[in-house]
Amino acid sequence: MTARSTNTGEGSGAQDPHRDIPEATVARLPVYLRALTSLAERNIASCSSEELATAAGVNSAKLRKDLSYLGSYGTRGVGYDVDYLSYQIAREIGVTHDWPVIIVGIGNLGQALANFSGFSSRGFRTVALLDAAEQMQGRTVAGLEVRPFADLAEIVAAEQVSIGVISVPATAAQDVADAMVEAGISSILNFAPAVLNVPPGVDVRKVDLSIELQILAYHESRKAAEADETVDNGSEEGITA
Amino acid sequence: MTARSTNTGEGSGAQDPHRDIPEATVARLPVYLRALTSLAERNIASCSSEELATAAGVNSAKLRKDLSYLGSYGTRGVGYDVDYLSYQIAREIGVTHDWPVIIVGIGNLGQALANFSGFSSRGFRTVALLDAAEQMQGRTVAGLEVRPFADLAEIVAAEQVSIGVISVPATAAQDVADAMVEAGISSILNFAPAVLNVPPGVDVRKVDLSIELQILAYHESRKAAEADETVDNGSEEGITA
DNA sequence: CTATGTGAAGGGGTTCACAGCC
DNA sequence: GGCTGTGAACCCCTTCACATAG
Protein backbone atom coordinates (compact mmCIF):
# COMPACT_ATOMS: atom_id res chain seq x y z
CA MET A 1 0.00 0.00 0.00
CA THR A 2 2.93 2.25 0.60
CA ALA A 3 5.96 2.59 -1.60
CA ARG A 4 7.84 1.14 1.31
CA SER A 5 5.94 -2.11 1.12
CA THR A 6 6.21 -2.42 -2.64
CA ASN A 7 9.84 -1.39 -2.70
CA THR A 8 11.48 -3.42 -0.01
CA GLY A 9 15.21 -3.45 -0.08
CA GLU A 10 15.94 0.06 -1.21
CA GLY A 11 19.37 -0.29 0.28
CA SER A 12 18.91 -0.19 4.01
CA GLY A 13 19.77 -3.85 4.60
CA ALA A 14 18.92 -4.71 8.19
CA GLN A 15 15.25 -4.32 9.12
CA ASP A 16 15.85 -1.89 12.01
CA PRO A 17 16.98 -4.13 14.84
CA HIS A 18 15.31 -2.18 17.67
CA ARG A 19 11.87 -3.70 17.13
CA ASP A 20 9.92 -4.20 13.99
CA ILE A 21 6.23 -3.66 14.38
CA PRO A 22 3.94 -5.40 11.86
CA GLU A 23 2.27 -3.03 9.44
CA ALA A 24 -1.20 -4.18 10.50
CA THR A 25 -0.34 -3.26 14.08
CA VAL A 26 1.01 0.14 13.07
CA ALA A 27 -2.31 0.88 11.37
CA ARG A 28 -4.17 0.17 14.62
CA LEU A 29 -1.96 2.09 17.04
CA PRO A 30 -3.64 5.42 16.16
CA VAL A 31 -7.01 3.80 16.88
CA TYR A 32 -5.83 2.71 20.31
CA LEU A 33 -4.42 6.15 20.94
CA ARG A 34 -7.74 7.76 20.14
CA ALA A 35 -9.62 5.29 22.35
CA LEU A 36 -7.24 6.05 25.21
CA THR A 37 -7.70 9.79 24.72
CA SER A 38 -11.42 9.28 24.86
CA LEU A 39 -11.10 7.31 28.11
CA ALA A 40 -8.85 9.99 29.60
CA GLU A 41 -11.44 12.65 28.77
CA ARG A 42 -13.93 10.66 30.82
CA ASN A 43 -11.43 10.69 33.69
CA ILE A 44 -10.78 6.97 33.49
CA ALA A 45 -7.27 6.37 34.82
CA SER A 46 -6.85 2.69 34.04
CA CYS A 47 -8.50 0.02 31.93
CA SER A 48 -8.33 -3.65 31.04
CA SER A 49 -7.43 -4.95 27.59
CA GLU A 50 -11.07 -5.92 27.24
CA GLU A 51 -12.32 -2.38 27.88
CA LEU A 52 -9.77 -0.73 25.64
CA ALA A 53 -10.40 -3.27 22.90
CA THR A 54 -14.13 -2.54 23.00
CA ALA A 55 -13.49 1.20 22.82
CA ALA A 56 -11.21 0.64 19.83
CA GLY A 57 -13.51 -1.80 18.05
CA VAL A 58 -11.18 -4.82 18.07
CA ASN A 59 -10.98 -8.00 20.13
CA SER A 60 -8.84 -8.11 23.24
CA ALA A 61 -6.44 -10.80 22.03
CA LYS A 62 -5.49 -8.68 19.06
CA LEU A 63 -5.07 -5.62 21.23
CA ARG A 64 -2.76 -7.41 23.65
CA LYS A 65 -0.75 -8.90 20.83
CA ASP A 66 -0.38 -5.48 19.23
CA LEU A 67 0.73 -3.85 22.48
CA SER A 68 3.19 -6.65 23.12
CA TYR A 69 5.21 -5.46 20.12
CA LEU A 70 5.81 -2.16 21.89
CA GLY A 71 6.85 -3.64 25.20
CA SER A 72 5.23 -4.62 28.49
CA TYR A 73 3.34 -1.52 29.46
CA GLY A 74 0.51 -3.20 31.38
CA THR A 75 0.31 -4.77 34.82
CA ARG A 76 -0.76 -8.43 35.01
CA GLY A 77 -3.89 -8.91 37.03
CA VAL A 78 -4.65 -5.18 36.80
CA GLY A 79 -4.65 -3.63 33.33
CA TYR A 80 -3.18 -0.53 31.70
CA ASP A 81 -2.61 2.96 33.02
CA VAL A 82 -4.35 5.20 30.50
CA ASP A 83 -1.92 8.13 30.53
CA TYR A 84 1.19 5.97 30.56
CA LEU A 85 0.03 3.77 27.70
CA SER A 86 -1.09 6.84 25.73
CA TYR A 87 2.35 8.30 25.99
CA GLN A 88 4.08 5.09 25.01
CA ILE A 89 1.93 4.70 21.91
CA ALA A 90 2.33 8.36 20.95
CA ARG A 91 6.07 7.99 21.31
CA GLU A 92 6.11 4.83 19.20
CA ILE A 93 4.09 6.51 16.43
CA GLY A 94 6.25 9.59 16.71
CA VAL A 95 3.53 12.13 17.50
CA THR A 96 4.91 13.42 20.75
CA HIS A 97 5.98 16.45 18.77
CA ASP A 98 4.03 18.08 15.92
CA TRP A 99 4.69 17.32 12.27
CA PRO A 100 4.45 20.20 9.81
CA VAL A 101 2.15 19.39 6.88
CA ILE A 102 1.35 21.13 3.62
CA ILE A 103 -1.80 20.74 1.56
CA VAL A 104 -1.67 21.11 -2.21
CA GLY A 105 -4.98 21.67 -3.98
CA ILE A 106 -7.36 23.99 -2.17
CA GLY A 107 -10.63 23.05 -3.84
CA ASN A 108 -13.64 21.84 -1.89
CA LEU A 109 -11.79 18.92 -0.39
CA GLY A 110 -8.59 20.83 0.31
CA GLN A 111 -10.55 23.50 2.15
CA ALA A 112 -12.34 20.86 4.18
CA LEU A 113 -8.99 19.30 5.08
CA ALA A 114 -7.52 22.68 6.01
CA ASN A 115 -10.45 23.28 8.34
CA PHE A 116 -10.43 19.78 9.77
CA SER A 117 -9.61 20.09 13.45
CA GLY A 118 -8.60 16.45 13.72
CA PHE A 119 -5.50 17.20 11.68
CA SER A 120 -4.15 19.77 14.06
CA SER A 121 -5.38 18.17 17.26
CA ARG A 122 -3.23 15.07 17.05
CA GLY A 123 0.37 15.66 16.13
CA PHE A 124 0.03 17.68 12.94
CA ARG A 125 0.24 21.34 12.05
CA THR A 126 -0.78 22.64 8.65
CA VAL A 127 1.93 25.14 7.74
CA ALA A 128 0.90 26.05 4.19
CA LEU A 129 -1.86 25.75 1.61
CA LEU A 130 -0.83 25.73 -2.05
CA ASP A 131 -2.83 25.98 -5.22
CA ALA A 132 -1.84 26.54 -8.82
CA ALA A 133 -4.99 28.47 -9.78
CA GLU A 134 -4.56 32.19 -10.22
CA GLN A 135 -7.91 32.99 -8.63
CA MET A 136 -7.04 31.21 -5.39
CA GLN A 137 -3.95 33.32 -4.69
CA GLY A 138 -4.18 35.52 -1.65
CA ARG A 139 -7.39 33.99 -0.36
CA THR A 140 -7.41 32.98 3.27
CA VAL A 141 -8.60 29.49 4.22
CA ALA A 142 -8.63 28.27 7.81
CA GLY A 143 -6.48 31.21 8.80
CA LEU A 144 -3.79 30.51 6.21
CA GLU A 145 -3.12 32.40 3.03
CA VAL A 146 -3.23 30.31 -0.14
CA ARG A 147 0.15 30.44 -1.83
CA PRO A 148 1.28 29.64 -5.38
CA PHE A 149 2.27 26.08 -6.16
CA ALA A 150 5.62 27.39 -7.36
CA ASP A 151 6.55 28.21 -3.76
CA LEU A 152 6.51 24.52 -2.84
CA ALA A 153 10.24 23.87 -2.63
CA GLU A 154 10.89 27.08 -0.73
CA ILE A 155 8.22 26.31 1.88
CA VAL A 156 9.27 22.69 2.33
CA ALA A 157 12.84 23.74 2.94
CA ALA A 158 11.98 26.62 5.24
CA GLU A 159 9.52 24.66 7.38
CA GLN A 160 11.28 21.29 7.26
CA VAL A 161 8.14 19.65 5.88
CA SER A 162 8.27 15.91 5.30
CA ILE A 163 4.55 15.15 4.91
CA GLY A 164 2.39 16.44 2.05
CA VAL A 165 -1.31 16.09 1.30
CA ILE A 166 -2.51 15.99 -2.32
CA SER A 167 -6.08 17.10 -2.98
CA VAL A 168 -5.87 18.12 -6.62
CA PRO A 169 -7.71 16.53 -9.57
CA ALA A 170 -6.41 13.13 -10.70
CA THR A 171 -4.79 14.53 -13.82
CA ALA A 172 -2.50 16.81 -11.80
CA ALA A 173 -1.68 14.38 -9.01
CA GLN A 174 1.47 12.83 -10.47
CA ASP A 175 3.00 16.20 -11.25
CA VAL A 176 2.33 17.39 -7.72
CA ALA A 177 3.81 14.20 -6.30
CA ASP A 178 6.93 14.60 -8.43
CA ALA A 179 7.36 18.17 -7.27
CA MET A 180 6.85 17.16 -3.65
CA VAL A 181 9.47 14.43 -3.87
CA GLU A 182 11.82 16.80 -5.64
CA ALA A 183 11.33 19.31 -2.84
CA GLY A 184 12.24 16.71 -0.23
CA ILE A 185 8.89 15.40 1.00
CA SER A 186 9.02 11.70 1.82
CA SER A 187 5.45 10.91 2.92
CA ILE A 188 2.37 11.64 0.85
CA LEU A 189 -1.30 11.35 1.68
CA ASN A 190 -3.08 11.19 -1.67
CA PHE A 191 -6.78 12.00 -2.08
CA ALA A 192 -6.66 12.11 -5.86
CA PRO A 193 -8.06 9.03 -7.59
CA ALA A 194 -4.81 8.20 -9.33
CA VAL A 195 -1.92 5.77 -8.92
CA LEU A 196 1.22 7.66 -7.94
CA ASN A 197 4.70 6.59 -8.95
CA VAL A 198 7.29 7.59 -6.40
CA PRO A 199 10.90 6.58 -5.83
CA PRO A 200 11.91 4.07 -3.12
CA GLY A 201 11.96 5.57 0.33
CA VAL A 202 8.85 7.67 -0.24
CA ASP A 203 5.65 6.45 1.42
CA VAL A 204 2.29 7.02 -0.18
CA ARG A 205 -1.05 6.37 1.43
CA LYS A 206 -4.19 6.64 -0.63
CA VAL A 207 -7.64 7.71 0.48
CA ASP A 208 -10.10 7.01 -2.28
CA LEU A 209 -13.72 7.85 -1.66
CA SER A 210 -15.30 6.18 -4.64
CA ILE A 211 -13.34 2.99 -4.08
CA GLU A 212 -14.73 2.78 -0.57
CA LEU A 213 -18.24 3.20 -1.91
CA GLN A 214 -17.67 0.54 -4.54
CA ILE A 215 -16.52 -1.93 -1.90
CA LEU A 216 -19.73 -1.25 -0.01
CA ALA A 217 -21.72 -1.67 -3.22
CA TYR A 218 -20.17 -5.09 -3.78
CA HIS A 219 -21.34 -6.33 -0.39
CA GLU A 220 -24.68 -4.62 -0.84
CA SER A 221 -25.20 -6.51 -4.11
CA ARG A 222 -24.40 -9.77 -2.38
CA LYS A 223 -26.87 -9.07 0.39
CA ALA A 224 -29.58 -8.48 -2.17
CA ALA A 225 -28.67 -11.70 -3.98
CA GLU A 226 -28.69 -13.65 -0.73
CA ALA A 227 -32.09 -12.29 0.21
CA ASP A 228 -33.49 -13.39 -3.14
CA GLU A 229 -32.07 -16.84 -2.64
CA THR A 230 -33.57 -17.15 0.78
CA VAL A 231 -36.95 -16.39 -0.70
CA ASP A 232 -36.44 -19.04 -3.38
CA ASN A 233 -35.17 -21.77 -1.08
CA GLY A 234 -37.09 -21.07 2.05
CA SER A 235 -34.59 -21.86 4.81
CA GLU A 236 -31.13 -23.02 3.87
CA GLU A 237 -29.75 -25.50 6.31
CA GLY A 238 -30.38 -29.17 6.60
CA ILE A 239 -33.81 -29.43 5.03
CA THR A 240 -32.40 -32.24 2.87
CA ALA A 241 -35.81 -33.83 2.48
CA MET B 1 -12.96 -3.90 8.97
CA THR B 2 -16.62 -4.23 8.19
CA ALA B 3 -19.31 -5.46 10.50
CA ARG B 4 -19.56 -8.33 8.10
CA SER B 5 -16.07 -9.47 8.85
CA THR B 6 -16.34 -9.06 12.59
CA ASN B 7 -19.77 -10.63 12.71
CA THR B 8 -19.49 -13.74 10.64
CA GLY B 9 -22.29 -16.16 10.96
CA GLU B 10 -25.20 -13.82 11.37
CA GLY B 11 -27.48 -16.60 10.25
CA SER B 12 -26.83 -17.05 6.56
CA GLY B 13 -25.08 -20.42 6.87
CA ALA B 14 -23.61 -21.27 3.50
CA GLN B 15 -20.98 -18.79 2.23
CA ASP B 16 -22.76 -18.01 -1.04
CA PRO B 17 -21.84 -20.98 -3.20
CA HIS B 18 -21.64 -19.04 -6.51
CA ARG B 19 -18.14 -17.74 -5.95
CA ASP B 20 -16.56 -16.19 -2.93
CA ILE B 21 -14.09 -13.48 -3.72
CA PRO B 22 -11.42 -12.72 -1.09
CA GLU B 23 -11.92 -9.39 0.64
CA ALA B 24 -8.46 -8.20 -0.44
CA THR B 25 -9.41 -8.83 -4.04
CA VAL B 26 -12.74 -7.03 -3.67
CA ALA B 27 -10.85 -3.98 -2.42
CA ARG B 28 -8.72 -3.97 -5.57
CA LEU B 29 -11.44 -4.51 -8.17
CA PRO B 30 -12.41 -0.80 -8.15
CA VAL B 31 -8.77 0.06 -8.77
CA TYR B 32 -8.67 -2.22 -11.78
CA LEU B 33 -11.92 -0.76 -13.02
CA ARG B 34 -10.52 2.74 -12.84
CA ALA B 35 -7.32 1.70 -14.62
CA LEU B 36 -9.39 0.10 -17.39
CA THR B 37 -11.50 3.23 -17.74
CA SER B 38 -8.35 5.25 -18.06
CA LEU B 39 -7.05 2.92 -20.79
CA ALA B 40 -10.38 3.09 -22.62
CA GLU B 41 -10.21 6.89 -22.60
CA ARG B 42 -6.89 6.63 -24.37
CA ASN B 43 -8.57 4.40 -26.98
CA ILE B 44 -6.65 1.32 -25.94
CA ALA B 45 -8.79 -1.68 -26.83
CA SER B 46 -6.78 -4.47 -25.24
CA CYS B 47 -3.95 -4.89 -22.75
CA SER B 48 -1.76 -7.48 -21.11
CA SER B 49 -1.87 -8.29 -17.41
CA GLU B 50 1.47 -6.54 -17.15
CA GLU B 51 0.15 -3.29 -18.62
CA LEU B 52 -3.02 -3.29 -16.58
CA ALA B 53 -1.10 -4.14 -13.42
CA THR B 54 1.24 -1.21 -13.97
CA ALA B 55 -1.70 1.14 -14.52
CA ALA B 56 -3.30 -0.12 -11.32
CA GLY B 57 -0.12 -0.04 -9.25
CA VAL B 58 0.08 -3.77 -8.44
CA ASN B 59 2.21 -6.63 -9.78
CA SER B 60 0.89 -8.76 -12.60
CA ALA B 61 0.75 -12.03 -10.66
CA LYS B 62 -1.59 -10.48 -8.14
CA LEU B 63 -3.73 -8.98 -10.87
CA ARG B 64 -4.10 -12.30 -12.67
CA LYS B 65 -4.88 -14.11 -9.45
CA ASP B 66 -7.53 -11.50 -8.59
CA LEU B 67 -9.15 -11.71 -12.01
CA SER B 68 -9.14 -15.49 -11.87
CA TYR B 69 -11.69 -15.32 -9.04
CA LEU B 70 -14.15 -13.67 -11.40
CA GLY B 71 -13.69 -16.13 -14.25
CA SER B 72 -11.58 -16.47 -17.35
CA TYR B 73 -12.08 -13.18 -19.11
CA GLY B 74 -8.69 -12.98 -20.82
CA THR B 75 -7.22 -14.71 -23.86
CA ARG B 76 -4.00 -16.70 -23.38
CA GLY B 77 -1.19 -15.43 -25.47
CA VAL B 78 -3.05 -12.19 -26.10
CA GLY B 79 -4.36 -10.34 -23.05
CA TYR B 80 -7.63 -8.72 -22.02
CA ASP B 81 -10.24 -6.82 -23.98
CA VAL B 82 -10.58 -3.53 -22.13
CA ASP B 83 -14.32 -2.98 -22.60
CA TYR B 84 -15.26 -6.58 -21.95
CA LEU B 85 -13.18 -6.82 -18.77
CA SER B 86 -14.49 -3.44 -17.58
CA TYR B 87 -18.03 -4.66 -17.91
CA GLN B 88 -17.32 -7.92 -16.11
CA ILE B 89 -15.69 -6.16 -13.17
CA ALA B 90 -18.44 -3.54 -12.98
CA ARG B 91 -21.00 -6.33 -12.97
CA GLU B 92 -19.15 -8.20 -10.23
CA ILE B 93 -18.93 -5.10 -8.05
CA GLY B 94 -22.53 -4.28 -8.78
CA VAL B 95 -22.08 -0.85 -10.31
CA THR B 96 -23.70 -1.49 -13.67
CA HIS B 97 -26.64 0.46 -12.29
CA ASP B 98 -26.47 3.50 -10.00
CA TRP B 99 -26.76 3.29 -6.23
CA PRO B 100 -28.63 6.07 -4.44
CA VAL B 101 -26.60 7.57 -1.59
CA ILE B 102 -27.39 10.05 1.16
CA ILE B 103 -24.91 12.24 3.01
CA VAL B 104 -25.55 13.21 6.62
CA GLY B 105 -23.56 16.15 7.97
CA ILE B 106 -23.12 19.01 5.53
CA GLY B 107 -20.17 20.79 7.11
CA ASN B 108 -16.94 21.44 5.24
CA LEU B 109 -16.32 17.80 4.52
CA GLY B 110 -19.94 16.98 3.69
CA GLN B 111 -20.02 19.82 1.18
CA ALA B 112 -16.81 18.62 -0.39
CA LEU B 113 -18.25 15.12 -0.68
CA ALA B 114 -21.49 16.45 -2.17
CA ASN B 115 -19.48 18.32 -4.81
CA PHE B 116 -17.10 15.45 -5.47
CA SER B 117 -17.67 14.37 -9.05
CA GLY B 118 -16.05 10.99 -8.48
CA PHE B 119 -19.02 9.96 -6.41
CA SER B 120 -21.54 10.45 -9.15
CA SER B 121 -19.33 9.41 -12.04
CA ARG B 122 -18.91 5.79 -11.04
CA GLY B 123 -22.13 4.08 -9.99
CA PHE B 124 -23.42 6.43 -7.31
CA ARG B 125 -26.00 9.16 -7.20
CA THR B 126 -26.35 11.49 -4.23
CA VAL B 127 -30.10 11.75 -3.65
CA ALA B 128 -30.19 13.81 -0.46
CA LEU B 129 -28.12 15.92 1.91
CA LEU B 130 -29.18 16.00 5.55
CA ASP B 131 -28.08 18.16 8.44
CA ALA B 132 -29.47 18.66 11.91
CA ALA B 133 -28.44 22.32 12.19
CA GLU B 134 -31.22 24.87 11.85
CA GLN B 135 -29.06 27.29 9.88
CA MET B 136 -28.30 24.75 7.17
CA GLN B 137 -31.95 24.13 6.29
CA GLY B 138 -32.99 25.26 2.86
CA ARG B 139 -29.45 25.96 1.67
CA THR B 140 -28.49 24.47 -1.65
CA VAL B 141 -25.25 22.51 -1.94
CA ALA B 142 -24.14 20.89 -5.18
CA GLY B 143 -27.60 21.41 -6.60
CA LEU B 144 -29.38 19.70 -3.73
CA GLU B 145 -31.38 21.32 -0.97
CA VAL B 146 -30.19 20.51 2.55
CA ARG B 147 -32.96 18.76 4.42
CA PRO B 148 -33.59 18.20 8.13
CA PHE B 149 -32.08 15.10 9.73
CA ALA B 150 -35.55 14.14 10.88
CA ASP B 151 -36.50 13.38 7.27
CA LEU B 152 -33.99 10.51 7.14
CA ALA B 153 -36.39 7.57 7.37
CA GLU B 154 -38.79 9.09 4.88
CA ILE B 155 -36.07 9.74 2.30
CA VAL B 156 -34.47 6.31 2.71
CA ALA B 157 -37.81 4.63 2.17
CA ALA B 158 -38.85 6.82 -0.75
CA GLU B 159 -35.55 6.54 -2.62
CA GLN B 160 -34.68 2.97 -1.65
CA VAL B 161 -31.37 4.09 -0.21
CA SER B 162 -29.09 1.39 1.17
CA ILE B 163 -25.82 3.34 1.40
CA GLY B 164 -25.25 6.27 3.75
CA VAL B 165 -22.29 8.58 4.28
CA ILE B 166 -21.60 10.03 7.73
CA SER B 167 -19.66 13.30 7.86
CA VAL B 168 -20.77 14.66 11.22
CA PRO B 169 -18.58 15.31 14.28
CA ALA B 170 -17.45 12.23 16.20
CA THR B 171 -19.84 12.84 19.08
CA ALA B 172 -22.89 12.61 16.80
CA ALA B 173 -21.71 9.71 14.65
CA GLN B 174 -23.19 6.82 16.64
CA ASP B 175 -26.61 8.46 16.81
CA VAL B 176 -26.59 9.04 13.08
CA ALA B 177 -25.53 5.45 12.47
CA ASP B 178 -28.31 4.16 14.71
CA ALA B 179 -30.87 6.25 12.85
CA MET B 180 -29.53 5.09 9.49
CA VAL B 181 -29.75 1.43 10.49
CA GLU B 182 -33.23 2.00 11.91
CA ALA B 183 -34.26 3.58 8.60
CA GLY B 184 -33.05 0.54 6.68
CA ILE B 185 -29.57 1.51 5.50
CA SER B 186 -27.19 -1.45 5.48
CA SER B 187 -23.90 0.07 4.30
CA ILE B 188 -22.21 3.03 5.92
CA LEU B 189 -19.18 5.03 4.90
CA ASN B 190 -17.99 6.77 8.05
CA PHE B 191 -15.75 9.84 8.00
CA ALA B 192 -16.21 10.63 11.68
CA PRO B 193 -13.28 9.65 13.90
CA ALA B 194 -15.34 7.29 16.02
CA VAL B 195 -15.90 3.55 16.34
CA LEU B 196 -19.43 2.68 15.23
CA ASN B 197 -21.46 -0.15 16.71
CA VAL B 198 -23.88 -1.62 14.21
CA PRO B 199 -25.90 -4.82 14.15
CA PRO B 200 -24.83 -7.86 12.11
CA GLY B 201 -25.57 -7.52 8.44
CA VAL B 202 -24.62 -3.85 8.33
CA ASP B 203 -21.27 -3.02 6.71
CA VAL B 204 -19.22 -0.08 7.89
CA ARG B 205 -16.16 1.28 6.20
CA LYS B 206 -14.13 3.94 7.91
CA VAL B 207 -12.11 6.74 6.35
CA ASP B 208 -9.99 8.39 9.00
CA LEU B 209 -7.76 11.21 7.91
CA SER B 210 -5.71 11.65 11.05
CA ILE B 211 -5.08 7.92 11.32
CA GLU B 212 -3.62 7.95 7.82
CA LEU B 213 -1.34 10.82 8.77
CA GLN B 214 -0.24 9.05 11.93
CA ILE B 215 0.70 5.95 9.97
CA LEU B 216 2.83 8.14 7.72
CA ALA B 217 4.34 9.79 10.79
CA TYR B 218 5.35 6.40 12.15
CA HIS B 219 7.30 5.54 9.03
CA GLU B 220 8.68 9.06 8.84
CA SER B 221 10.04 8.70 12.38
CA ARG B 222 11.71 5.44 11.44
CA LYS B 223 13.31 6.97 8.39
CA ALA B 224 14.79 9.70 10.55
CA ALA B 225 16.06 7.11 13.05
CA GLU B 226 17.57 5.02 10.27
CA ALA B 227 19.34 8.03 8.82
CA ASP B 228 20.84 8.83 12.22
CA GLU B 229 22.03 5.27 12.55
CA THR B 230 23.64 5.30 9.16
CA VAL B 231 25.57 8.36 10.20
CA ASP B 232 26.66 6.63 13.41
CA ASN B 233 27.62 3.32 11.87
CA GLY B 234 28.86 4.35 8.50
CA SER B 235 27.67 1.56 6.22
CA GLU B 236 25.58 -1.23 7.67
CA GLU B 237 26.30 -4.53 6.04
CA GLY B 238 29.04 -7.00 6.84
CA ILE B 239 31.50 -4.73 8.54
CA THR B 240 31.70 -7.34 11.32
CA ALA B 241 35.25 -6.37 12.18
C1' DC C 1 -7.54 -15.33 41.51
C1' DT C 2 -7.28 -11.96 37.76
C1' DA C 3 -5.67 -10.13 33.63
C1' DT C 4 -1.42 -9.52 30.86
C1' DG C 5 1.97 -11.31 27.62
C1' DT C 6 3.05 -14.87 24.30
C1' DG C 7 4.24 -19.45 21.93
C1' DA C 8 1.65 -22.21 18.81
C1' DA C 9 -1.99 -23.22 15.67
C1' DG C 10 -4.83 -21.74 12.04
C1' DG C 11 -6.39 -18.86 8.10
C1' DG C 12 -5.67 -15.54 4.33
C1' DG C 13 -3.11 -13.25 1.03
C1' DT C 14 0.92 -12.83 -1.92
C1' DT C 15 4.34 -14.63 -4.80
C1' DC C 16 6.32 -18.17 -7.52
C1' DA C 17 6.67 -20.91 -11.34
C1' DC C 18 4.73 -23.51 -14.72
C1' DA C 19 0.92 -25.95 -17.10
C1' DG C 20 -2.49 -24.79 -20.48
C1' DC C 21 -4.28 -22.46 -24.35
C1' DC C 22 -4.11 -19.13 -28.01
C1' DG D 1 6.36 -18.27 -28.84
C1' DG D 2 3.58 -15.55 -25.61
C1' DC D 3 0.53 -14.61 -22.04
C1' DT D 4 -3.13 -16.22 -19.15
C1' DG D 5 -4.82 -19.03 -15.33
C1' DT D 6 -3.59 -21.58 -11.21
C1' DG D 7 -1.72 -25.11 -7.85
C1' DA D 8 1.81 -24.86 -4.33
C1' DA D 9 5.03 -22.57 -1.32
C1' DC D 10 5.66 -18.88 1.49
C1' DC D 11 4.70 -15.23 4.58
C1' DC D 12 1.97 -12.36 7.51
C1' DC D 13 -1.79 -11.77 10.56
C1' DT D 14 -5.26 -13.38 13.66
C1' DT D 15 -6.90 -16.29 17.18
C1' DC D 16 -6.41 -19.53 20.76
C1' DA D 17 -5.10 -21.04 25.12
C1' DC D 18 -2.17 -20.94 28.80
C1' DA D 19 2.08 -19.81 31.35
C1' DT D 20 3.34 -15.86 34.01
C1' DA D 21 3.26 -12.10 37.09
C1' DG D 22 0.99 -9.28 40.36
Name the band, by pLDDT with cuts 50, 70 and 90, for residue B2: very low
Distance in angstroms: CA B151, C1' C10? 48
Q: Quote the radius of gyration of chain B (alpha carbons, Å).
A: 22
Mean of the pLDDT values across residues B134-160?
97
Question: What is the mean pLDDT of the segment spanning A140-147?
Answer: 97
Least confident interval from A69-78, A121-130, A181-190: A121-130
Helix (H, G, I), strand (E, B) or coil at A17: coil
Quick check: A205 pLDDT over 90?
A: yes
Does pLDDT of B32 surpass 80?
Answer: yes
Residues of A whose CB is below 8 A from B209: 113, 116, 118-119, 189, 207
The larger pLDDT score, comparing residue B167 to residue A231, is at B167
CA nearest neighbour of A118 among A46, A30, A227, A203:
A30
Please, which residues have CB within 8 angstroms of residue A125's CB and are 6 or more apart in sequence? A98, A99, A100, A101
pLDDT, position B1:
40
Alpha helices, H only, B116-235: 117-121, 152-159, 170-183, 209-233
Above 80 in pLDDT, residue A14? no
Closest nucleotide relative to residue A77's CA, C1' based: C3
From the list B112, B60, B237, B142, the residue with the least C-alpha distance to A9 is B237
Long-range contacts of B187-191, Cβ-Cβ distance < 8 Å, separation of 24 or more: B187/A216, B187/A217, B187/A219, B187/A220, B187/B162, B187/B163, B188/A216, B188/B163, B188/B164, B189/A209, B189/A212, B189/A213, B189/A216, B189/B163, B189/B164, B189/B165, B190/B166, B191/B105, B191/B109, B191/B113, B191/B165, B191/B166, B191/B167
pLDDT in tens, B165-176: 999 999 999 999
B109 is in an annotated binding site: yes
How close does chain A come to B74, measured CA to CA in Å?
22
- Spatial distance from the CA of A64 to the C1' of C1 (Å): 20
Q: For residue A72, what pLDDT band results from cuts at 50, 70 and 90?
A: very high
* Chain B interface test: which of A33, A160, A167, A216 (most B C-beta within 10 Å): A216
- A:B CB pairs within 8 Å: 206
Which amino acid, one-letter code, is at B138?
A: G
CA atoms within 13 A on the CB side of A179: 22
The domain locations on chain A are: 19-93, 99-207, 213-241
CA distance A227 to B232: 63
Classified by CATH at the fold level, domain B99-207 comes out as Rossmann fold (3.40.50)
Q: Of all protein residues, which has its CA closest to the C1' atom of C7?
A: A65
- When CB atoms are compared, the residue of B31, B109, B119 closest to A116 is B109
Chain A hits for B111, Cβ within 8 Å: 108, 112
Q: Which of B108, B44, B107 is nearest to B81 (CA)?
A: B44
Residue B164 predicted with pLDDT over 70: yes
State the pLDDT at residue A232. 62
Helices and strands: H and E segment counts in chain B: 10, 10
Q: What is the 3-state secondary structure (H, E, C) of A67-125?
A: HHHHCCCEECCCEEEHHHHHHHHHHHHCCCCCEEEEEECCCHHHHHHHHCHHHHHCCEE
Q: Does domain B22-93 have CATH number 1.10.510.10?
A: no
Closest CA to the C1' of D5: that residue is B68
For residue B45, give the DSSP letter: -
Question: Which amino acid belongs to residue B94?
Answer: G
Query: What is chain A's Cα-based Rg?
Result: 22
What is the distance in angstroms measured between the alpha-carbon CA of A73 and the sugar C1' of C12?
30
Whether nucleic acid strand C comes within 7 Å of the CB of A28, the answer is no
For B137-160, b where at least 16 C-beta lie within 10 A, e where not — what string?
Answer: eeeebbebebbebeebeebbeeee
Contact state of A211 with B13 under an 8 Å Cβ cutoff: no
* Set of chain A residues whose Cβ sits within 8 Å of the Cβ of B173: none
The reply to whether the CB atom of residue B79 sits less than 7 A from any atom in nucleic acid chain D is yes
Model pLDDT, residue A117: 83
Determine contact, residues B42/B4, Cβ cutoff 8 Å.
Answer: no
CB contact under 8 A, A101 and B213: yes
H/E element holding B128? strand B124-131
**Phi, psi at B148, each rounded to 5°:** -65, 145
Architecture of domain A19-93: Orthogonal Bundle (1.10)
Chain C positions with any atom < 7 A from a protein CB: 1-7, 12-17, 20-22
Cβ-nearest to A216 among B57, B112, B163: B163
| Cα-based distances in Å from B150 to A208, B153, B183 | 30, 7, 11
pLDDT exceeds 90 at position A28: yes
Q: Is the CB of A96 under 7 A from strand C?
A: no
